[in-house]
């Protein structure tokens, strides 16, 4: 039978997907749809900017090593500006919080204020820009408490479980947007010719088991016992208690690590360590850990501090850092078990206690 190509199922755009999701929600107005459209537009604009590389800086700006670092900083600020300008006018937001801003950004007059709060990391993994490795943007939408007209920092300090929606854009060989509205996780690929995100990865699910782990091993001497034990056992491979070999990955870009986990499984660790007790962990709770945690859990994975599910943590301040480990459910549960078991004391695994590759000599 000859098929008419125009009769095959239409590709679904992100806008169409959001509107359909909106129709399923009770009492929904179109406001949220419009907000998401603006967020996606910001990501398209940043995708375009990042795609220019050092050419984005200035004509002839592809100069010395110094200019490279300058490009990175400038791109962070430009991406931040794009997020603010693209989202401030629509009337759906009361305020925004960005990695690049010390304080919340209130919606300026004459724009109307709305019921939602937007938090974002406009350019994640930006140290990768110099070497042309994937970067991304991360965002999360919260509800503004009723009756609050001028939100302060305190209004943003909501546990991740209260997120209305979260997502990230990844600017790689192709640009993708990955989104959860609390009903699964869906991936969209940017069709550059028509300028639309197309649904290409519906209902992403993270495999329960994995044999890939990712951690910055140069910090091994600061790790807590539970993390040492987990990594030592992975490294021991077939000859160790796990009885299988593992692969290691490390991109040093949260968005890129997350994307790999969603598509292939695995576990990523940014653990708290012993360097600075006042600032445990490297990643920021509000605009990195919470949105990624929401996505991971919605895809059937697990997102943890090692001690508690990240989405249950009540933030103390806007730019709070926290330990974060996430990915395939059973691996993260194992990590949590190790934290419960042995984090109070040095673990005493006779096989690896002395010989572990990442162990400091006693």
Minimal distance, residue 78 CB to Mn ion, in Å: 12
Nearer to Mn ion, 124 or 232 (CB): 124
Minimal distance, residue 323 CB to Mn ion, in Å: 15
User: Angle 244-332-122 (CA atoms, 0-180°, nearest 5)?
Assistant: 120
Minimal distance, residue 321 CB to Mn ion, in Å: 11
Tokens 């005493």 belong to residue? 348
Nearer to Mn ion, 76 or 304 (CB): 76
DSSP 167-218: EEEEESSSEEEEEESSS-EEEEEEETTTTEEEEEE-S----S--SEEEE-GG
Site membership for Mn ion, residue 297 (CB under 5 A): no
Nearer to Mn ion, 123 or 318 (CB): 123
Nearer to Mn ion, 214 or 231 (CB): 214
- Residues found in the chain: 362
Nearer to Mn ion, 121 or 297 (CB): 121
Listed ranges 119-127, 243-251, 257-265, 269-277: which one lies at the site for Mn ion (CB under 5 A):
119-127
Residue spans of alpha helices (H) in the chain: 14-24, 31-51, 65-87, 153-156, 225-236, 254-264, 290-298, 329-342
State the pairing for strand pair 247-248/212-215.
Answer: parallel
Total of chain residues touching Mn ion, rule CB under 5 A: 4
Listed ranges 64-72, 116-124, 232-240, 354-362: which one lies at the site for Mn ion (CB under 5 A):
116-124
Listed ranges 18-26, 124-132, 211-219, 262-270: which one lies at the site for Mn ion (CB under 5 A):
124-132
Site membership for Mn ion, residue 121 (CB under 5 A): yes
Minimal distance, residue 255 CB to Mn ion, in Å: 8
Nearer to Mn ion, 142 or 254 (CB): 254
Site membership for Mn ion, residue 124 (CB under 5 A): yes
How far from each other are the two terminal CA atoms of the chain, in whole angstroms? 74
Site membership for Mn ion, residue 257 (CB under 5 A): no
Nearer to Mn ion, 80 or 305 (CB): 80
Nearest C-alpha neighbor of 164 from the set 114, 222, 105, 216? 114
Site membership for Mn ion, residue 336 (CB under 5 A): no
Residues 48-107 that bind Mn ion (CB under 5 A): 99
Residue 178 to residue 166: CA distance in whole angstroms: 9
Minimal distance, residue 264 CB to Mn ion, in Å: 21
Residue 189 to residue 320: CA distance in whole angstroms: 32
Tell me how far the alpha carbon of residue 30 is from its chain's centroid: 26
Residues binding Mn ion (CB under 5 A): 99, 121, 123-124
């Amino acid at each position: 039978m000859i098929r008419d190509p125009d009769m095959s199922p239409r590709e679904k755009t992100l806008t169409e997907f959001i509107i359909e999701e909106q129709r399923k929600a009770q009492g929904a107005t179109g406001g949220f749809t419009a907000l998401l459209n603006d967020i996606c537009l910001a990501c398209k604009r940043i995708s375009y900017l990042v795609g220019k590389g050092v050419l984005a800086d200035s004509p002839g700006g592809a100069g010395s090593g110094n200019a490279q670092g300058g490009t990175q900083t400038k791109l962070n600020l430009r991406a931040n500006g794009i997020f603010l300008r693209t989202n401030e006018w629509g009337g759906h937001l009361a305020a925004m919080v960005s990695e690049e801003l010390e304080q919340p950004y209130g919606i300026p007059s004459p724009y109307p204020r709305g019921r939602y709060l937007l938090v974002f990391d406009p350019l994640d993994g930006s140290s990768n820009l110099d070497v042309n490795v994937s970067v991304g943007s991360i965002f999360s939408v919260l509800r503004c408490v009723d009756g609050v007209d001028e939100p302060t920092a305190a209004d943003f300090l909501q546990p991740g479980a209260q997120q209305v929606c979260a997502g990230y854009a990844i600017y790689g060989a192709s640009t993708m947007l990955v989104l959860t509205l609390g009903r699964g996780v869906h991936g969209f690929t940017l069709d550059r010719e028509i300028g639309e995100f197309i649904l290409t990865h519906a209902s992403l699910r993270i495999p329960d088991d994995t044999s890939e782990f990712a951690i910055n091993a140069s910090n091994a001497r600061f790790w807590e016992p539970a993390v040492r034990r987990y990594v030592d056992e992975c490294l021991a491979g077939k000859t160790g208690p796990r009885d299988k070999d593992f692969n290691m990955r490390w991109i040093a870009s949260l968005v890129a690590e997350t994307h790999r986990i969603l598509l292939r499984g695995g576990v990523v660790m940014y653990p708290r360590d012993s360097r600075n007790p006042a600032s445990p962990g490297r990643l920021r709770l509000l605009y990195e850990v919470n949105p990624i945690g929401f996505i991971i859990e919605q895809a059937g994975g697990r997102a943890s501090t090692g001690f508690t599910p990240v989405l249950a943590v009540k933030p103390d301040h806007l730019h709070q850092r926290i330990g974060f480990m996430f990915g395939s459910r059973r691996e993260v549960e194992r990590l949590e078990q190790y934290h419960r078991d042995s984090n109070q004391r040095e673990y005493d695994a006779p096989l690896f206690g002395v010989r572990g590759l990442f162990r400091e000599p006693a």
